[in-house]
């Protein structure tokens, strides 16, 4: 299921085109907008979220609440475009406004400098407009469509925030507990850790500094055999890692015990296999995080993803002005201090995309009824 996204951060709109969805998938537009509202919330977000109130419009591929089997196009209009039309228009822009909006004190940790050199630009705006995490709004909208496809098969995705700048929530949570994280400020489940994380973000904001963190994403109900051991490019763990690494600011992905596998012995890490008539094959532990040999093994999928601190600092880092080559303080546009709550929503959306694609690859199907029957027939 190919997904293409397009759109600049302050351009007219963001667009997603999803190809190869089967016909008769019920689309709940209110839930798409619910996910978009969650992406805009959380403690530590910047002023942009006050300007935008994201709502996705379904432009193609859905009729009477159901997919037709044709490409589904989603669109989110940028409300901020009204303030940027003179500088961002596809036609001739007003050069004075363009000058005012130009960014040349390139920001460390951003795509600014490398993008300018690569694309022959003298204004980092021509790079940052696409590099911006605003693009994740449309990925969340598309992700909700994929989630609805997976839910029709009984596959659920949840998650929470495990760490913010060194403050950790190290609880062990049942899948059913995860939804509570969406009702908190930072996205943690442990009340004390949540409070400390909010205090940390407030202190960083005061100091002109920023934070990143770690989220845990879990998938319940995916049967075994998705992904493919036979072809390296179709291994489910590699596809999940690639999808999650494509989100702005992601610097690490762990499946199951992740980096801890290196600290422990084989006996301590591998999940022993049992069988009884009632359960069939089963395991009592899930250190593999639900994936063995690049395929889902029927256990919960457990993924942890690390986000670096937001690179735009209100008390800017040292840099160089692009044209004069003089030392400068990096530009600071209005910016988030910590976007970990939003990031968790985005990571769920990307996991939904990767898994829906893996399901479609294995099961095919022109209609949702065919997909559901093929899924039900699997062991």
Ligand X SMILES: Cc1cc2nc3c(=O)[nH]c(=O)nc-3n(C[C@H](O)[C@H](O)[C@H](O)COP(=O)(O)O)c2cc1C
- Output 10 or 110, the one with its CB closest to ligand X: 110
Q: How far is the CB of 43 from ligand X (least distance, A)?
A: 13
Q: Is residue 247 close enough to count as binding ligand X by CB under 6 A?
A: yes
What is the C-alpha separation between 79 and 158, in angstroms, rounded? 30
Q: How far is the CB of 131 from ligand X (least distance, A)?
A: 4
x/- mask, ligand X, residues 176-195, rule CB under 6 A, reads --------------------
Closest CA to 239 of 362, 351, 133, 359: 351
Interface with ligand X (CB under 6 A), residue from 132, 286, 367, 370: 132
Q: How far is the CB of 76 from ligand X (least distance, A)?
A: 15
What is the C-alpha separation between 205 and 338, in angstroms, rounded? 9
- Output 72 or 339, the one with its CB closest to ligand X: 339
- Output 24 or 39, the one with its CB closest to ligand X: 39
**What does each C-alpha distance from 327 to 110, 123, 269, 318, 333 come to in angstroms?**
17, 17, 50, 7, 19
- Output 21 or 345, the one with its CB closest to ligand X: 345
Interface with ligand X (CB under 6 A), residue from 10, 24, 105, 110: 110
| H or E stretch at 100 | helix 95-101
Tokens of 135: 């693009």
* Contact residues for 359 (Cβ-Cβ < 8 A; gap 6+): 149, 150, 153, 155, 226, 371, 375
Q: Is residue 108 close enough to count as binding ligand X by CB under 6 A?
A: no
What is the C-alpha separation between 36 and 137, in angstroms, rounded? 7
| H or E stretch at 328 | strand 327-329
Q: Which stretch binds ligand X (CB under 6 A): 71-79, 164-172, 274-282, 341-349?
A: 341-349
x/- mask, ligand X, residues 290-329, rule CB under 6 A, reads ------------------x-xxx-----------------
Q: How far is the CB of 264 from ligand X (least distance, A)?
A: 30
Q: How far is the CB of 136 from ligand X (least distance, A)?
A: 6
Interface with ligand X (CB under 6 A), residue from 36, 75, 87, 111: 111
> Residue with the closest Cβ to ligand X?
312
What is the C-alpha separation between 184 and 345, in angstroms, rounded? 13
Decide if 226 contacts 219 (C-beta within 8 A).
no
Q: How far is the CB of 332 from ligand X (least distance, A)?
A: 8
Q: How far is the CB of 330 from ligand X (least distance, A)?
A: 10
Q: How far is the CB of 346 from ligand X (least distance, A)?
A: 6
- Output 72 or 111, the one with its CB closest to ligand X: 111
Q: Is residue 136 close enough to count as binding ligand X by CB under 6 A?
A: yes
Tokens of 362: 């294995």
What is the C-alpha separation between 227 and 230, in angstroms, rounded? 9
* Contact residues for 54 (Cβ-Cβ < 8 A; gap 6+): 33, 36, 37, 39, 40, 76, 137, 141
Binding site for ligand X (CB under 6 A): 46, 109-111, 131-133, 136, 247-249, 308, 310-312, 335-336, 339, 342-343, 346
């Amino acid at each position: 299921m190919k997904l293409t996204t397009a759109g600049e951060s302050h351009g007219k709109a963001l667009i997603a085109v999803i190809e190869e969805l089967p016909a008769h998938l019920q689309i709940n537009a209110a839930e798409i907008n619910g996910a978009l509202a969650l992406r805009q919330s959380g403690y530590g977000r910047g002023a942009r979220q006050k300007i935008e109130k994201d709502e996705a419009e379904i432009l193609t591929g859905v009729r009477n609440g159901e997919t037709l089997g044709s490409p589904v196009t989603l669109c989110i209009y940028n409300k901020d475009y009204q303030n940027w039309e003179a500088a961002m228009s596809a036609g001739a822009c007003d050069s004075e406004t363009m000058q005012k909006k130009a960014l040349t004190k390139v920001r460390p940790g951003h795509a600014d400098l490398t993008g300018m050199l690569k694309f022959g630009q003298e204004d980092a705006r021509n790079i940052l407009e696409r590099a911006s995490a605003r693009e994740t709004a449309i990925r969340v909208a598309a992700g909700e469509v994929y989630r609805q496809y997976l839910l029709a098969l009984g596959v659920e995705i949840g998650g929470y925030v495990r760490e913010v700048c060194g403050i950790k929530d190290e609880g062990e949570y049942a899948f059913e507990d995860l939804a509570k994280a969406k009702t908190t400020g930072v996205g943690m489940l442990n009340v004390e850790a949540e409070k400390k994380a909010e205090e940390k973000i407030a202190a960083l904001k005061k100091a002109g500094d920023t934070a990143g963190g770690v989220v845990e994403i879990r998938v319940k109900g995916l049967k075994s055999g998705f992904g493919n051991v036979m072809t390296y490019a179709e291994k489910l763990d590699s596809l999940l890692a690639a999808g999650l690494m494509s989100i702005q600011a992601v610097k690490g992905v762990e499946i199951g015990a992740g980096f801890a596998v290196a600290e422990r012995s084989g006996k301590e890490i591998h999940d022993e296999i049992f069988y009884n008539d009632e359960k069939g094959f089963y395991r009592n532990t899930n250190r593999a995080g639900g994936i063995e040999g690049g395929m889902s093994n029927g256990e919960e999928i457990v993924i942890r993803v690390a986000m670096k601190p937001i690179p735009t600092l209100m008390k800017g880092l040292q840099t160089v002005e692009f044209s004069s080559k003089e030392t400068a303080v990096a530009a600071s546009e209005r910016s988030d201090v910590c976007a970990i709550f939003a990031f968790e929503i985005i990571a769920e959306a990307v996991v939904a995309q990767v898994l829906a694609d893996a399901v479609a690859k294995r099961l095919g199907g022109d209609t949702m009824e065919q997909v559901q029957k093929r899924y039900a027939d699997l062991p």
